[in-house]
């Protein structure tokens, strides 16, 4: 069972679903020549993708182009189905920072061929997650600076105010299809500036008032 930590008492919470949004920042949607989506683009990662802060990100030999995506993550604290937008925030336990590591070449191939891209997004170590801070400790989740650097050079820098679908809308939308359960994690999408990492790179990422991540990138050891 894979767990995440909820501060301040460091309670360990088993993770159920990891639900991710695609193209939830306009400038990132543009990077891929895409329009801003009319409704949320949703995909899932397995809980085996989770690593905690500091653990190495392992590049699968299936890809020649693994990208970083830094994202605000939301921990669900209360189960629900068909949740209204006005009730949605009552289901949030806390916020964290996550990386949505992506085999971009595999994702692009799959998109082109109309195939699922689960493997491109769901491989082991593709979901580094910080401890979660309680919702009450984050004043406004739509005014948080979000940034990521590789080897000390800044690659991504934005503000969560620029997300297209807000957290209450996302929860209301998802709960029309999924029962949301305590321990589910939502990745709210990445801002612009995504790019490749290679073995021995160091990734540092931070969301002000929420948390930070520090990871080394390594290649999968051959047998
Ligand atoms: Mg993403």
| Ligand 1 midpoint to CA 86 (Å) | 26
Q: Assign 159 a pLDDT band (cuts: 50, 70, 90).
A: very high
* 100 CA distance to ligand 1 middle (Å): 5
In whole angstroms, give the CA distance from residue 201 to residue 50. Answer: 19
CA 120 to centroid of ligand 1, rounded, Å: 11
The rounded Å distance from CA 99 to ligand 1 centre is 8
State pLDDT tens for residues 54-66: 999 999 999 999 9
What is the average per-residue pLDDT within 174-202?
98
Which residue carries 């400790």 as its tokens?
137
Q: Tell me how far apart the alpha carbons of residues 188 and 166 are, in angstroms, rounded to a whole number.
A: 8
Distance 189 CA to ligand 1 centre (A): 5
The reply to whether the predicted model has a pTM over 0.85 is yes
CA of 49 to the centre of ligand 1 (A): 14
Which domains are assigned to the chain? Answer: 18-216 (3.90.850.10)
Distances (CA, A) of 173 to 51, 73, 128, 133, 215: 27, 16, 25, 24, 32
> CA-to-CA distance for 142 and 69, rounded, in angstroms?
18
CA distance 167 to 53: 24
Distance 79 CA to ligand 1 centre (A): 24
Ligand 1 centroid, distance to 22 Cα (angstroms): 5
pLDDT tens readout for residues 32-45: 877 889 999 999 99
CA of 223 to the centre of ligand 1 (A): 31
């Amino acid at each position: 069972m894979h767990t995440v930590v909820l501060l301040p008492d460091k309670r360990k919470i088993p993770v159920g679903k990891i639900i991710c949004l695609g193209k939830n920042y306009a400038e990132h949607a543009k990077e891929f020549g895409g329009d801003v989506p009319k409704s949320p683009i949703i995909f899932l990662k397995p809980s085996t993708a989770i690593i905690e802060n500091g653990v190495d990100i392992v590049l699968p030999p299936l890809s020649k182009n693994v990208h970083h995506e830094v994202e605000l993550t939301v921990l669900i604290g209360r189960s629900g189905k068909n949740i209204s937008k006005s009730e949605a925030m009552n289901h949030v336990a806390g916020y964290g920072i996550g990386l949505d590591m992506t085999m971009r070449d595999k994702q692009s191939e799959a998109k082109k061929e109309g195939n699922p891209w689960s493997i491109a997004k769901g491989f082991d170590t593709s979901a580094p997650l910080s401890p979660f801070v309680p919702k009450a400790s984050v004043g406004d989740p739509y005014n948080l600076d979000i940034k990521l650097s590789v080897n000390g050079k800044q690659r991504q820098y934005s503000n969560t105010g620029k997300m297209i679908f807000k957290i209450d809308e996302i929860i209301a939308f998802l709960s029309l299809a999924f029962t949301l359960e305590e321990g589910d994690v939502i990745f709210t999408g990445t801002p612009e500036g995504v790019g490749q990492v290679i073995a021995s790179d160091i990734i540092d990422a931070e969301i002000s008032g929420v948390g930070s991540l520090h990871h080394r990138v390594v290649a999968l050891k051959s047998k």
